[in-house]
Structure 1
Amino acid sequence: MASKVEQITDVLRQLRSRCPEIIGSSVVSMEGFLIASVSPKEIDEELVSGMSAALLGVGEQISQEIMHAPLSQVFVKSEKGFVILNSVDKDAVLLLLVTGDAKLGLIFLEIRRILPELQKVI
């Protein structure tokens, strides 16, 4: 039987195969530790994971303090693309790096489709 990390990695590979605009995908703990990743070698996965923890912290504060609701997604747009963080469960987050020409509606649809798969594994 495949390990938890291998199972998560398989789900991330399936996501990238369905959405080639996804440059990199990871599952990260809420503390910013990398759990599993499918990313090109030029992406420093540990750095991205650590920075995602900072982004999550601010997002959670805003969501709780201002919106009085739990955080479900953080979305960052840059000139070259997008960073999407989506809650998997209370302990893990899906992190996607996406090209600027991606059809975001399709990306969000695929996120909704794979979250139950990730939740089963995690």
Structure 2
Amino acid sequence: MRTDMFQQSLEDLNGSTADIEASALISTDGLMIASALPHGMDEDRIGAMSAALLSLGERTARELARGSLERVLIQGERGYVIMSSAGPEAVLTVLAKSNAKLGLIFLDIKRAAETLSKLI
């Protein structure tokens, strides 16, 4: 039941803008909770990388006195990977197009993360 709610939240996020291509909710220990990812993506590897990057981002922000981490942003030539906490036990990972309007996407991600963190 809860898994369906996670799934629906991710699908709503993906549908909120054409700029978001995929999303996943991952536990902080790297296990996939729910995903709306394209076929052929390795969920186990995405889960492990997302959890590791968010953890490293939190440590980096703390060590460099940047305050608490809001998001990890990776920009590649074909788009963005954006990771954000969804409560203390999960990471929301989003794939966005290269021409995406990041301000709007950050808002959508923040709303989705708040919704998902309440469900966890």
Q: TM-score, normalised by structure 2?
A: 0.91
Secondary structure of the residue aligned to 1:63 is: helix
Out of 115, 118, 121, the position equivalent to 2:116 is 118
Identify unmatched segments of 5+ residues in structure 1.
none
The CA distance in 1 between the partners of 2:32 and 2:46, in whole Å, is 9
SS of equivalent to 1:111 = helix
For structure 2, the residue ranges without an aligned partner over 5 or more in a row are none
Q: Residue 87 of structure 2 aligns to a residue in which SS?
A: coil
RMSD (CA atoms) = 1.4
Match for residue 61 of structure 1?
59
2:54/2:84 contact within 8 Å kept: no
- Residue by residue over 1:16-40, the C-alpha shift from the partner in whole angstroms, topping out at 9 and shown as x without a partner, is 1112222210011111111110011
Return structure 1 stretches of 4+ with deviation > 4 angstroms.
none
Match of 2:23 in 1: 25
State the Cα distance separating 1:87 from its structure 2 match: 0.8
Structure-to-structure mapping, 1:1-122, within 5 angstroms: 3-67=1-65, 69-122=67-120
Between the aligned partners of 2:93 and 2:31, the Cα distance in structure 1 is 12
Once residues 72 and 90 of structure 1 are traced to their aligned partners in structure 2, the CA distance between those partners, rounded to angstroms, is 12
Whole-angstrom CA distance in 1 between matches of 2:91 and 2:67: 17
State the TM-score, normalizing by the size of structure 1: 0.90
Q: Percent identity?
A: 38
